[in-house]
A and B are shown apart, each in its own frame.
Chain A
């Protein structure tokens, strides 16, 4: 579980996060949504420890980040997995080497143990025939799955995903969404996904935090996002006619 308490973050005098407090539970897919420029990426990078908030605190299963020593912070970071928007795979390594990388860095496993784990994880993301390909030879969807495999190979407690299905076709995007949800439940980890993909919101949004101008505007789940009368949320969610019709159908079904 990750508890966020009143975090503020500024860049060059401009306040990006203006005091966000929320809780992300274990075993659930937590989504952070909002328009471009609402502070989602800064929020995620602050949770990852890449940015230090000027005010407020973040606790990971009771461990307050600001109170940890440098070594403890490194240990905590080894418990995190991250799927970047552009996958961020290491160009000079093959897919298998990319996935093996966290194991080589943080474990004392033997070569065969590492290879078994890499094979298992690549199989889990349906990539058991791509070991020796370079990232540049893989499609966007494959790269995302490799990034997920690399993020989970060291059995993380926290999984962060920054727009994991951006630039993917709808079918592949759904595959990625479902994969992340399955992994979250299977490994019982705390997963936080940054997205503005409404399909993801509807499909896997067990908890949704809506950010606007660096503030938490609304939080709930994909079940009650249809019923909210918050204008900022409805303006974002129902910006397309398709989703207006989906809302109407959903409310009629509910009645």
Chain B
């Protein structure tokens, strides 16, 4: 029963995000601050993980292709497909649920604990719009981050492939250009937009409606990571079934 209540409250919160907007002059600063906190500050970790995991994907693919009849170009092809279809949109989103999600939950949760949200509400401000809408807008730039992850994942794969001696540079480049289906990019970016929405709203929900003190802020951050990850994995399955099968 409490799950149903939470789901209902979550959807009511989403409705509230777009109601009674905050003055644009105030909102603009919040949006830029959230772009900095959520997107720009994540570029480093996303680039690092994408580059090295791309390399690992390549190495493991190459090591599992022992049959000499399989062309070497398949290493590049498999890396591209893995990175574009799953690794960049889904794996990076799970990492972002930990990094960005816990930041959102703890910052909003701390505002709740220290009565800053009450202060906003007393002033007649729609606190949900004020706090969540800028995060929602900032995370609409999330596909930009995922594009970097795609590029660096394939680049990392190329470095691992060439320096590890698994295939030549020409074979790898031929592989990443082989049988390219543009719809796969559309599929990946639709997933990215959906995950961006989840990353903005689920952690905000857990921060906004938390009760208690500092200990509960920590608990809410953990819960928010778990539920954001569950929602990402579930929607990943549903979207893949709908769009690719």
> Which residues of A does B touch, CB under 8 Å?
45, 48-50, 70, 73-78, 80, 82, 84-86, 88-92, 102, 104-106, 160
Contacts and interface: CB of A to CB of B under 8 A. Distances in A.
A105 B115 contact: no
Contact of B125 (A50, A76, A105, A160): A105
Interface string B100-127: 0000000000110011101101111100
A88 B119 contact: yes
Contact of A50 (B23, B26, B33, B122): B122
Contact of B22 (A70, A80, A105, A160): A105
A104 B26 contact: yes
Main secondary structure of the interface of B (DSSP, over half): helix
B124 A74 contact: yes
B25 interface: yes
B122 A102 contact: no
Interface string B122-141: 11110000000000000000
Return the 8 tightest CB-CB contacts between A and B, nearest first.
Answer: A77-B124, A88-B115, A74-B124, A88-B119, A82-B122, A84-B115, A78-B124, A88-B116
Given A73-B124, A74-B124, A82-B122, A104 B23 contact: yes
A84 B119 contact: yes
B133 to A, nearest CB: 14
Contacts of B110: 91
Contact of B25 (A48, A75, A84, A104): A104
Contacts of A91: 110-111, 114, 116
Contacts of B124: 73-78, 106
A254 to B, nearest CB: 41
A88 B22 contact: no
Tier of interface size on chain B: 10 to 19
A88 B118 contact: yes
Interface centre among B23, B110, B123 (most CB of A within 10 A): B123
A48 B119 CA distance: 10
B9 to A, nearest CB: 16
Given A77-B123, A82-B119, A106-B123, 19 more contacts: A48-B122, A50-B121, A50-B122, A74-B124, A78-B123, A82-B122, A84-B115, A84-B119, A86-B115, A88-B116, A88-B118, A89-B116, A91-B114, A102-B123, A104-B25, A105-B22, A105-B123, A106-B124, A160-B122
Nearest to B26: A104
B114 A105 contact: no
A177 to B, nearest CB: 21
30 contacts: A45-B118, A49-B122, A50-B118, A50-B122, A73-B124, A74-B124, A76-B124, A77-B124, A78-B124, A80-B122, A80-B123, A82-B118, A82-B119, A82-B122, A84-B115, A84-B118, A86-B114, A88-B114, A88-B119, A90-B119, A91-B111, A91-B114, A91-B116, A92-B33, A102-B123, A104-B23, A104-B25, A105-B22, A105-B23, A105-B26
B105 to A, nearest CB: 16
A90 B116 contact: yes
Interface in B150-180: none
Nearest to A45: B118
A86 B119 CA distance: 11
Nearest to B125: A105
B30 to A, nearest CB: 10
A104 B123 CA distance: 12
Nearest to B29: A104
Nearest to A80: B122
A134 to B, nearest CB: 14
B226 to A, nearest CB: 26
